[in-house]
Amino acid sequence: MKKHVILALALGFSIFSFAQKKELKTAEKAIKNNNFSEAKSILNQVESMLSSMDEKSKDKFHYLKGQALYANGAGTDADLNMAIDNLNMVNSSYKVEVQEVKQNMINSIITESNSHYQSSQYSEAVKGFEKLYKLIPTDTTYLYYAAASAVNGKDYDTALKHYNNLNEIGYTGVEKEYFATNQATGEEEVLSSKDERDNYVKIGAYNNPGERQTESKKGEIIKNIAFIYVSQGKTTEALAAIKEARKNEPNDVSLILTEANLYHETGDLDSYKNLIEEAIKLDPNNLDLVFNLGVISSDNNDIEKAREYYQKVIDLDPTYINAQTNMAALILGEEQNIIEEMNSLGTSSADNKRYDELKAKRVNIYNEAVPYLEAVLKIDPKSIDVARTLMNIYSAVDNTAKFDEMKALVDALSGGN
């Protein structure tokens, strides 16, 4: 009795196995006839039998499923991702056939992804480069392209994920490139391979052959990680990433300024000032940096230092309106203490004498501020606030002609109101 049971089970298993192979063969035939929808339907039914298949049948199933989903390039984006997953599941059998399908995919996706990138369709380019990385996981350049496309498309979450992945696996992007001088143009060109370069040299089209390593992209990757954290308001993560980036590029002014601005946001003005000064040493002609030092000095109530920085900017660029404005504001800011003291004086002869001294001092402040305010008005003739300030100053110093001129301008700018 037991023998009959064993025989029956064995027979049942044999029939089951035969059915699997028959279904796979039918699906294979449908694929050859480009009937991918029918092939997918058959394979979906067979999928429940995967656990009972032998390794070769499993490989065939995944190979066929990949083909059916790819549909010679007509499959949806989701189908294409599943197609790649299935082709990657093939272990030993059908390796050659799988590689042929993958190569067709690669050729097609490279063309499409580059086209999407060139036409600024960055989200589509990201999807394409991600697929290429799945197809060729050893070629991490495609992951780098996916990250770069995501940045250009402002998809910072995706970009950050890929950049962090690149950083973790130690991607540098360093490659050996082969170059030679084009005899016709006299210009150096990078050739696609050593063989191509050598062939051109051999036939006399190129000379002066050489090879070199390309620059590492590690600094760029860490820098982008830092900038993305900054854009996301993640100050702690951003500072950590920037410090890491500066190990690779200690003299990168953009990194220094980003770090400085982060310290400014956290209220660490000393670190901010030190970093701005470091940036100025590297880029002494950057007037924005000098101006920022003027602002931070003013915030710290170091008025003399602030005036020094603003004057340096004005000397180098008299049209730098913010420096002219801030300088005038600093000078006029000294008036408040004088006014307070004048108002506190009595009527004694000593007080009257002091009042006259303070009045003269106030006039000097006005006269000192006037050139900067006039410079602002010259740059921006429609600045009613500056025109009104000048009008009041000319009234205070009894300059009737200038007062009338400014009053006319204020009336014109305000519509007579």
pLDDT in tens, the chain (417 residues): 344 444 444 444 444 455 667 778 888 888 888 888 888 888 888 787 777 788 888 888 898 888 888 888 888 889 889 989 989 999 888 888 889 988 988 998 999 999 999 999 999 999 999 999 999 999 999 999 999 999 999 999 999 999 999 989 988 888 899 999 999 999 999 998 999 999 999 999 999 999 999 888 887 888 888 889 988 888 889 888 888 888 878 888 878 888 887 888 788 888 888 888 888 888 888 898 889 888 888 887 889 989 999 999 999 999 999 999 999 999 999 888 888 888 998 889 998 899 889 889 999 999 999 999 999 999 999 999 999 999 999 998 899 999 999 999 999 988 755
101: three-class secondary structure by DSSP: helix
Closest CA relative to residue 342, chosen from 334, 352, 333: 352
The two beta strands, 206-213 and 188-191, are: unpaired
Instruction: Report the alpha-carbon angle 190-195-196, nearest 5.
Output: 50
| 98 within 8 A of 87, measured Cβ to Cβ | yes
| Rounded Cα gap, residues 381 and 334, in angstroms | 26
Q: According to the model, what pLDDT value does residue 416 have?
A: 58
Closest CA relative to residue 366, chosen from 337, 387, 396: 396
Instruction: Report the alpha-carbon angle 229-292-238, nearest 5.
Output: 10
Q: According to the model, what pLDDT value does residue 217 have?
A: 85
| 50 within 8 A of 44, measured Cβ to Cβ | no
Q: According to the model, what pLDDT value does residue 1 have?
A: 38
Q: According to the model, what pLDDT value does residue 122 have?
A: 94
| 69 within 8 A of 34, measured Cβ to Cβ | no
148 phi and psi, to 5 degrees? -65, -40
How far is C-alpha 380 from the chain's CA centre? 34
| 182 within 8 A of 190, measured Cβ to Cβ | no
Instruction: Report the alpha-carbon angle 334-339-341, nearest 5.
Output: 105
Helix, strand, coil percent content, the chain, rounded in steps of 5: 75, 5, 20
What tokens appear for 37 in the block?
Answer: 């929808």
Q: Where are the beta strands (DSSP E) in 281-359?
A: none
Q: If you ran DSSP here, which 8-state letter would residue 232 be given?
A: T
Burial track 281-296 (b if 16+ CB lie within 10 A, e otherwise) = eebeeebebbbbbbbb
| Rounded Cα gap, residues 18 and 16, in angstroms | 5
22: three-class secondary structure by DSSP: helix
Cα dist. 24→20, 72, 188, 208, 341 in Å? 6, 19, 55, 58, 100
CB atoms inside a 10 Å sphere around CB 144: 22
Domain ranges of the chain: 17-93, 176-213
| Rounded Cα gap, residues 412 and 417, in angstroms | 9
Q: Which amino acid is at 345?
A: L
Q: Is 293 left (phi over 0), alpha (psi -120 to 50) or beta?
A: alpha
Q: According to the model, what pLDDT value does residue 58 have?
A: 85
| 385 within 8 A of 368, measured Cβ to Cβ | no
What tokens appear for 33 in the block?
Answer: 């006839």
| Rounded Cα gap, residues 354 and 251, in angstroms | 54
Q: According to the model, what pLDDT value does residue 417 have?
A: 59
| Rounded Cα gap, residues 394 and 271, in angstroms | 42
Read out DSSP for 293-314?
Answer: HHHHHHHTT-HHHHHHHHHHHH
